[in-house]
Structure 1
């Protein structure tokens, strides 16, 4: 059994560092960064599927990658469980409909003090270093790719497919980017969905890596 980690909007996979540091040694994992190209969700899923072997896998989808996992479920993969971390497969909020209109410079540059961003991202005023890591990762991605991903998010519709694979949703206690209503489409799509509340902000894998690691471990123990 292998854990496949799919990153959020930055796509680099660098932000998994805090989680991987506390992940039990017996869990085999593979971080698959997203290609720095302007691809739709289906194309991204195809690229990722080509990097996954025939082993049984548990997929962890962070934020943006939720819809990619949805597309992966349509392919011939040996998926045993899915863990959504503050993720979404429909528009995450009303304002996200207009996210593609945001100038990329507003996303890549810090116009707000680190302490405030720390509270917005992680529900803590003491994670300025993690804020810097977020922006470092974003700045490794081309403006065109970020713009393309935001456009995909803004155009998300309600999903139509249904999947039998079991899933878990890690819901942050204070997620300012993904509204609670976004769990409903996931529940409809993945009929065996467990929702676990975890203290922290939208970047929950960085806000509370220890608790997220515990959740991951329980899913491996189930197999």
Structure 2
């Protein structure tokens, strides 16, 4: 019997928009021989231009959208639009509504403090990656922040402040991966997805908000299992 053919995984990055932070997960997916491509957000004017670009690039190809953080609501919007053959969606540490009041800080503090937080590397690593912090992950974070402009970050944070969950329902199978110690996207952000996706699985992994970076092996196994599931 021949091996099942996997749809193409589209990895959609979070607020940094660079796709660079997907490097650890990409390595694990490659080891599992899962076909994937990272589609950065930064080259596009805004999320709507990004959506239209993806719709034009993959008009008839079976897809699984893998979306972390800021990209979760974008993947959901794409599914609602119905212009692509989206077979499944993986949602990692993400949200459909304003995730936290921390988004209000953008009005008070310069965005440069997000790109280059004034913290020693040890403290910054713990804040971003928890106990799984490493210099390699910190270097990836700095590279990602260098790739995005302060204007792009500000626009995305403003967008987050005004997000409301869609009223449509989707029958596309979805999997929500929650980080156990996520102070950027608290656990309550899972609830709106339950109202939108009628077939929604759930898994929690130990770690910080950047769960695809700190637990790439476990995320890859969950994705593989979910995609293979009939």
Specify the TM-score bucket, using the shorter chain as the normaliser.
Answer: over 0.9
Cα RMSD (Å): 1.7
Answering whether residue 34 of structure 2 is matched by residue 27 of structure 1, we say yes
Indicate the residue corresponding to 2:228 in structure 1: 221
Aligned length: 222
* TM-score normalised over the length of structure 1: 0.92
Q: Is the 8 A contact 2:44 2:50 kept in 1?
A: no
Q: Distance in 2 between matches of 1:154 and 1:126?
A: 28
User: In structure 2, what is the equivalent of residue 160 of structure 1?
Assistant: 167
Does the Cα contact within 8 Å between 2:98 and 2:164 map onto a contact in 1?
yes
User: Does residue 81 in structure 1 map to residue 81 in structure 2?
Assistant: no
Aligned to 2:194: 187
Matched, 1:175 2:187: no
Alignment deviations for residues 37-75 of structure 1 (CA, whole Å, 9 cap, x no partner): 542x43332222222241211110011101111211113
For 1:81 and 1:218, locate their aligned partners in 2 and report how far apart those are by CA, in whole Å.
12
TM superposition score normalised by structure 2: 0.90
Question: After the TM superposition, which parts of structure 1 deviate over 6 Å for at least 4 consecutive aligned residues?
Answer: none
The residue that corresponds to 2:129 in the other structure is 122
Q: Deviation at 1:186?
A: 0.9
Where structure 1 has 5 or more consecutive residues not aligned to the other structure, the ranges are none
* 1:99 equivalenced with 2:132 (yes/no): no
Question: Is 2:72 aligned against 1:72?
Answer: no
1:37-48 matched pairs, under 5 angstroms: 37-39=44-46, 41-48=47-54
